[in-house]
Amino acid sequence: MALILEYYPARSRYYKRIWARVKSGVHNQVRFLTFDRKQYQSDYNKRSEIKQARTDRNLETKLLLFSYLGGKCVKCGYDDHRALQLDHIKGNGSKTRKESGLHKNRIKYYNYLLQNPSYTLEEIQLLCANCNWVKRYENNEGVLK
């Protein structure tokens, strides 16, 4: 049976759904499908709204974690959230994130830190970008040898 997929945009939800059926062996149920332009356009127009909602939610998570850690740089007192960074006090942040499996997603890592307050308060501090890089330089953190 031949599927006609050229009517579907290559990365659309419908295209992926059809190929999921084909790969699973249910392709006999898939006949000549028509492209629902109104549905696709509606989904496409909602993309920016969904993206904005996700961005707002991620910012709220970040600000909640930063406020939990004091909301300002530990060394100099700078308080603009755009320049604040999480710093592992012992300098083992990369290793810790990889062991926990949270090294690929920043927001999941933030949620992990919010759910484990004792670990967060003992191991994490809030530094501005300048203080964090000065600390990395002085302690030879993250330097390839």
Q: Has residue 4 got a pLDDT over 50?
A: no
pLDDT band at residue 47 under the 50/70/90 scheme: confident
pTM over 0.75: no
Question: Of 83, 77, 74, 81, which is closest to residue 59 (Cα–Cα)?
Answer: 81
Q: Cα(145)–Cα(134) distance, rounded to whole angstroms? A: 18
Nearest in space to 44 (alpha carbons), one of 12, 82, 7: 12
Q: Return the closest-CA partner of residue 33 out of 15, 47, 49, 20.
A: 15
Structure tokens at 25: 């062996």
What's the mean per-residue pLDDT of the chain?
A: 79
Sequence ranges of the domains in the chain: 64-139
Compute the distance between CA of residue 40 and CA of residue 13 in angstroms, rounded to an integer: 9
Q: What is the mean predicted confidence (pLDDT) over 9-21?
A: 61
Q: What pLDDT, on a 0 to 100 scale, did the predictor assign at position 12?
A: 64
Helix (H, G, I), strand (E, B) or coil at 25: coil
- Residue 40 to residue 49: CA distance in whole angstroms: 15
